[in-house]
Amino acid sequence: MSNPDDSIIRLRNVSKSFATPKGSFKAVDNASLAIRRGDTFGIIGTSGAGKSTLLRLVNLLERPDTGEVHVDGRDVTALSKAGLRDLRRSIGMIFQQFNLLQNATVADNVAFPLRIHGATRAEIADRVRECLAIVGLQDKADAYPAQLSGGQKQRVAIARALATRPSILLCDEPTSALDPQTTRSVLDVLKEVNQKLGVTIVIVTHEMSVVRALCRNVAVMEHGRVVEQFSTDQAHGVLTDIAKELHYA
Ligand SMILES: Nc1ncnc2c1ncn2[C@@H]1O[C@H](COP(=O)(O)OP(=O)(O)OP(=O)(O)O)[C@@H](O)[C@H]1O
């Protein structure tokens, strides 16, 4: 596991259970993880292993029942309301289904988090332009989501996630709804966001091609636990074996 000093995210012995009709179900079970600043970090595992839940523990979309979540050296479960607002500003998130506001233009979608955080009109206009340029969609500012392709929608979602200048971008299966070519264009944008802006990327995926194209480090989850963690440059063979085991493409 990485040196605690250069970790931007540290999960220590976190568990999370959900109430189900059949009783309590432990989706994340005593999991620990350290992610270095500036990393591109993949979380893989079989369906239902707890990957999305683990990701959502980082920005407290899910609160852990037990264990610690540290982001940028702060214990986030102990944050005040104002502290939590700051945390959310410093962590962007994108999803498989894009989650765009359908009745708002591309520009208004990207502006949304800035409005929540009280930016001025001029600041919003400048930042929306910058973020749309980062994802190569300057010419789509006035379009509505329904007029865009899947890849373009995901790029708008990335622009929106970047609006508040986060240091971390959480990605929950961001390319699972996309064809291979569009997937590549979205991965190129994510790579650029990592390399040019220095944003730490944490990505849940069931596609080994995504891991190979983007991730420097990977954690494997099984039954709510992190069972393995390795760097992708040192582990081509391991990656192939794990891909087979998980039935990943
Ligand atoms: N809010 C919830 N209420 C009840 N059960 C939940 C809830 N969220 C997740 N679960 C259950 O917890 C388990 C882990 O879910 P999670 O989505 O984290 O897994 P995953 O590894 O991301 O799976 P997939 O690859 O299928 O998305 C699953 O069995 C899921 O049904």
CATH number at residue 85: 3.40.50.300
Closest CA relative to residue 128, chosen from 108, 144, 142: 108
Q: Residue whose CA is closest, atom 3 of ligand 1?
A: 18
Ligand 1 within 6 A of 51 CB? yes
- pLDDT given for residue 5 in this prediction: 61
- List 203's β-bridge partners, or say none: 42, 171
ipTM over 0.90: yes
Q: What is the number of domains present in the chain?
A: 1
Per-residue model confidence as pLDDT tens for the chain (249 residues): 444 568 999 999 999 999 999 999 999 999 999 999 999 999 999 999 999 999 999 999 999 999 999 999 999 999 998 899 889 899 999 999 999 999 999 999 999 999 988 889 999 999 999 999 999 999 999 999 999 999 999 999 999 999 999 999 999 999 999 999 999 999 999 999 999 999 999 999 999 999 999 999 999 999 999 999 999 987 666 777 777 777 776
Closest CA relative to residue 180, chosen from 203, 159, 151: 151
Q: Which domain holds residue 178?
A: 4-246
CA–CA separation, 95 vs 231, rounded Å? 24
- pLDDT given for residue 242 in this prediction: 77
Ligand 1 within 6 A of 224 CB? no
Structure tokens at 151: 């890849």
Ligand 1 within 6 A of 24 CB? no
How much distance in Å is there from the Cα of 130 to the middle of ligand 1?
35
How much distance in Å is there from the Cα of 18 to the middle of ligand 1?
9
How much distance in Å is there from the Cα of 54 to the middle of ligand 1?
10
